[in-house]
Amino acid sequence: MAGAGRSLRGAGKRGAASSSSSSSSSSASASACVYYATTGVLVTLCVAGAYFLTSASSASLAGADGDGPVTTAYRHTTRSSFTYEVTREKTAAPAPPREVERLDEPRGQGGAAAEEEEERGADADAAAALDDDPRGKPDLDDHGADEEETKGAAAAMDAQRAEEDDNVSSGDAIAGGDEAAKDTSASTSALAGEEEKEEEAMREESQEHEHEPHLQMPQGEESRVATVEEKSLDGGIEEESIAGQRQSEEEQIDHGDGAGSLRREAQEEVHVGEGYEMADHLPESELHNEGEEMLEQQQQQPEEERASEAEANTSESDAGGEGDTEDKPTMSDSEHKEEVIDSLPGEEDRAEVSATGGDVDQSAWATQADHSHQEKDRLEEAAGTDDNSADAGGGGGEEPEWRLCNVKAGPDYIPCLENEKAIKKLRPENYRRDEHRERHCPDEGPTCLVPLPAGYRRPIEWPKCRDRIWYNNVPHTKLVEVKGHQNWVKVSGQYLTFPGGGTQFIHGALHYIDFLQQSARGIAWGKRTRVVLDVGCGVASFGGYLFDRDVLAMSFAPKDEHEAQVQMALERGIPAISAVMGSKRLPFPSKVFDLVHCARCRVPWHADGGALLLELNRVLRPGGFFVWSATPVYQKLTEDVQIWKAMTALTKSMCWELVTIKKDRLNGIGAAFYRKPTSNECYEARRRQQPPMCSDDDEANAAWYIRINACMHRVPTGPSERGTTWPAEWPRRASTPPYWLNSSQAGAYGKPAPEDFAVDSEHWRRVVDKSYLNGLGIDWSRVRNVMDMRATYGGFAAAMKEQKIWVMNVVNVDAADTLPIIFERGLIGIYHDWCESFSTYPRTYDLLHADHLFSKIKERCAVLPVVAEVDRIVRPGGSIIVRDESGAVGKVEKLLRSLHWDVRLTFSNNDQGVLYAEKTDWRPEMLADPS
């Protein structure tokens, strides 16, 4: 404006020096130019102010819209650390309108508003010349102005033109320069006053709009105005995204063949969080509405960010192991969106689960913590420190400083089996019962990290890993030296190879397995016999080849002078734990194994009144087989003869039936087949009550830190008691509710137990089918060893039974004792307390699944050591799926990020969340203080 004023002053002076006619013509031309420029700028600025206020009201409405304090968040992160999250909140009151800047006061290079006021007088003679120009009246509708505002501006301009026409027609053309300048100044002042009135009206209108439920925006502008606030779980704003492409994405979903049905299906089953009791207070309708909102908000993800995310997902391939050059699977943008939307189905069942029948017994199921007096005492003593440590280790506060474990075991560190301070306190008699090889956990869970062995590589995929593993992953040769001639394990270049033999089956496990079935046809591998306990398993070739017969074996052996035998088994992809037949019961319930096997397992069954064999009797199902393949069965050495006599007397007093003794000519060994009774008649007919029957208050299912008692529990005989009937044949038993689940008893989630079982099974089937197998981007060809860290009925494992994996179902000692149900389904599991370390070697699991574990564990102990334990037992390249309360998921995510895990997906809704993360090869450089 200042520049324009100076130009007009120059034009005015030139007009005064010329003739009257030329002066009049020049003045009219200049006035026309000034009028056109001034009017166009002012009107444009008015329109911009209206649009600015409308945008502000739209933004305030985005916070005011909604029915309650509901928050929905979706984040999908990649190695490039892209984070997407949608947040929707209800504010307490609408935000006040923002002050409108005086947009009609632009500044030139050397001018300002004050200078413009001084120059207005010289511009008056040019204002009248534009009254006939059609461009002098801009179309305000094209700029999105309201109709009333347009009419008001047009009326003001018409009034101005009428005054200017009067001034021009006065006939004073020669001296009209000064008079026109005065008239134009007055007109300009009138326009300025009119503009202030319009701005005031617009501010009042915007305040009214903020209280309206919807704001109508001009088409084409809405996509540029609507914005979505993006935040991380810890509250820090990470980036801001435009959400205008949501409408086009919805149209693409709705118009494709079958896509509309996928979207509707996703809306029905998108609710989050699987520990059913966590959402009992939410009505089903509310959960459904939340799913619909979440679906719409997820579709706001911008294409630019999602394209970057897809590029980051394909930026890194797995390192080490066979197939190192293969990239991880990637998905197209639409595929990923649909699969993630479908990744959390089944939440409508959670509302159903909260309802209980009127006749249902609501008494809580017994837990292992209830049974174990030792566990109770230990928890009471540690109660004072648990509360404080839970706060300190819960993932809040400063990021932990990770250090490498400074222990003798180095890369093979198992905290509860290598507690030298506790072992040194044992007395000599404790060693005779192998108590030094039992669990002796530190008072506080370690928070150090186990180093990787030199040259570690990602494990070989199944089934190749059953025959060979990387030598550097388990660099131990003692078994090669001691057992090489028995075809246990050999060294072949950079591999450890496993010919499939064993001490009792040098010529291969498959021949030996078939020999056992032919000797006792009641075994019926894979049909009648599904779940097996292999005692003293060595490198677990027996269990590894039972997979070919549809049998699942729980193999165990101690961490003794036979270096890393269980570690080799797990590296091969075979189920195994490090445990010993010692002074305490095995961590399994009673009457669950279909068959127990011992091939030269070096266990003194006949010693101490047969205490260890009586422990096998406890876990063996009535009617199940005990297969003993050992030298006392077929050799005549003095020691062997004495052991055989002792075993014969012991098994007879235990009422075990010696079904047969068979000799395998190929391997030159023999095996004895015993069967546990199915009734109590034999027990009652014994002349000598040795071994004695257990007292009535001795709970057979108690297994956590319970000392072995040399007694026998009575066989169940009631029609509704567990153990009186053999389970259905596999695979039907996996989906069949156990006959002994009582409808009058509430299940773990509150409904009658059989219904609880069915709901759990259906729920995990949907989750696995719609999310885990396709929606998370997991390369299942690289997954073999899986652990469900907080299993209930084994629904997750049952849903995965068609995959080439096995699942270790962990039932927590403070949870309902549902482990017998898991075994009844033909699956395997174990009791455990996650306040302690698990009895396995480092780097032995490909995938951990934690359903509402961390929100429960924080009530008893710190979360930080549990996350360190997760890092210990997961292989590099392995992963974890966490389903929990949003707060717990956020804490775990923060700790995993500090461990340099690759957090690939986080998803939250209605205070429930899911996290999927992969472990990297990162290890800290500093050592912890020696323990």
Q: What pLDDT is recorded for position 877?
A: 97
**Nearest-angstrom CA–CA distance, 856 and 661:** 50
Distances in Å between the alpha carbon of 726 and those of 124, 395, 530, 620, 794?
Answer: 107, 46, 11, 12, 19
Give, in order, the Cα–Cα distances in Å from 121 to each of 8, 32, 37, 189: 10, 15, 16, 11
How far apart are alpha carbons 649 and 645 in whole angstroms? 6
> Mean of the pLDDT values across residues 582-609?
96
Would you say residue 840 has pLDDT above 60? yes
Binning pLDDT at 50, 70 and 90, where does residue 929 land?
Answer: confident
**pLDDT for the residue 776:** 92
Residue bearing the bigger pLDDT, 375 or 499: 499
Query: 41-45, 130-134, 478-482, 673-677 — which is least confidently predicted?
Result: 130-134
Q: How far apart are CA 778 and CA 643, in angstroms?
A: 52
Phi-psi region of 66 (alpha: psi -120 to 50; beta: other; left: phi over 0): left
Identity (one letter) of the amino acid at 84?
A: Y
* Extended beta strands in 329-456, E state: none
pLDDT digits (tens, 9 = 90+) for 874-892: 999 999 999 999 999 999 9
Q: How many CB atoms lie within 10 A of CB 254?
A: 11
Residue 734 identity: A
Q: DSSP assignment of 248-260, as one string?
A: HHHHHHHHSTTHH
pLDDT of residue 212: 42
The confidence band for 46, taking pLDDT boundaries of 50, 70 and 90, is low
Which of 12-21, 672-681, 737-746, 911-920 is the least confident region?
12-21
Q: What digits encode the pLDDT tens for the residues 60-108?
A: 444 444 444 444 444 444 433 333 333 334 444 444 444 433 434 444 4
Q: Are 543 and 575 a contacting pair, CB within 8 Å?
A: yes
Q: What span, in angstroms and rounded, lies between the C-alpha atoms of 306 and 311? A: 9
Q: What's the whole-number mean pLDDT along residues 446-473?
A: 97
- List the single range of 195-204, 215-224, 518-527 with lowest mean pLDDT: 215-224
- Segment 655-693, tens digit of pLDDT: 999 999 999 999 999 999 999 999 999 999 999 999 999
β-strand pairing of 912-918 with 902-909: antiparallel
Q: How many CB atoms lie within 10 A of CB 312?
A: 15
Tell me the percentage of the chain whose pLDDT exceeds 90.
53
Per-residue pLDDT at 513: 98
Looking at the chain, the whole-number percentage of residues with pLDDT higher than 70 is 58
* H or E, element range at 556: strand 552-557
What's residue 772's pLDDT? Answer: 96
User: Over the stretch 759-803, which tens digit does the pLDDT of each residue have?
Assistant: 999 999 999 999 999 989 999 999 999 999 999 999 999 999 999
- For residue 352, the model assigns a pLDDT of 37
Sequence spans of domains, the chain: 500-572+592-715, 738-919
Decide yes or no: CATH 3.40.50.150 for domain 500-572+592-715: yes
pLDDT at 280 exceeding the cut of 60:
no
* Closest C-alpha to 288, from 241, 330, 350, 238: 350
User: Can you read off the two tokens belonging to residue 464?
Assistant: 């190749």
- Per-residue pLDDT at 708 exceeds 90: yes
Is 597 in contact with 603 (CB distance < 8 Å)?
no
Output the CA angle 166-171-174, nearest 5 degrees: 120
Give the confidence band of 931 by pLDDT, cuts at 50, 70, 90. Answer: low
* pLDDT score recorded for residue 200: 60
pLDDT for 525-536, tens place per residue? 999 999 999 999
pLDDT at 144: 43
pLDDT band for 48, please (50, 70, 90 cuts).
Answer: low
pLDDT band, residue 829 (cuts 50/70/90): very high
Task: Indicate whether 218 pLDDT > 50.
Answer: no
- pLDDT single digits (tens) 843-873: 999 999 999 999 999 989 999 999 999 999 9
pLDDT the model gives residue 386: 42
How sure is the predictor about 397, in pLDDT bands with cuts at 50, 70 and 90? low
Question: Which CATH topology does 738-919 take?
Answer: Rossmann fold (3.40.50)
**pLDDT tier, 174 (very low <50, low <70, confident <90, very high otherwise):** very low
pLDDT computed for residue 49 by the predictor: 63
Per-residue pLDDT, 124: 42
Q: What is the mean pLDDT of residues 237-245?
A: 36
pLDDT at 866: 98
Least confident of 205-209, 316-320, 518-522, 739-743: 316-320
Residue 717 has pLDDT above 80, yes or no: yes
516: tokens are: 């056992």
Q: State residue 636's pLDDT score.
A: 94
500-572+592-715 and 738-919 in the same fold: yes
pLDDT at 126 over 60: no
Residue 916 has pLDDT above 60, yes or no: yes
Residue 887 corresponds to which amino acid? G
Q: State pLDDT tens for residues 628-638.
A: 999 999 999 99
Distances in whole angstroms, Cα of residue 112 to Cα of each of 1, 3, 8, 124, 186: 9, 11, 17, 19, 20
Q: What is the pLDDT of residues 152-165, one digit of tens each?
A: 545 555 555 555 55
pLDDT tens digits, residue range 536-554? 999 999 999 999 999 999 9
Mean pLDDT over 344-359 rounds to 39
Q: What is the mean pLDDT of the chain?
A: 74
What is the rounded CA–CA span in Å between residue 309 and residue 840? 36
β-strand 806-812 against 669-675: which pairing, if any? unpaired
Q: How far is CA 508 from CA 467, 502, 601, in A?
A: 12, 7, 17
Q: Which of 180-189, 678-687, 736-745, 921-930 has the lowest mean pLDDT?
A: 180-189
For residue 846, give the H/E element and its range.
strand 845-851
Copy the structure tokens of residue 842. Answer: 């480092």
For residues 820 and 590, give the distance between their C-alpha atoms in angstroms, rounded to a whole number: 8
Lowest mean pLDDT among 29-33, 242-246, 612-616: 242-246
Mean pLDDT across 551-570: 93
Global pTM value: 0.67
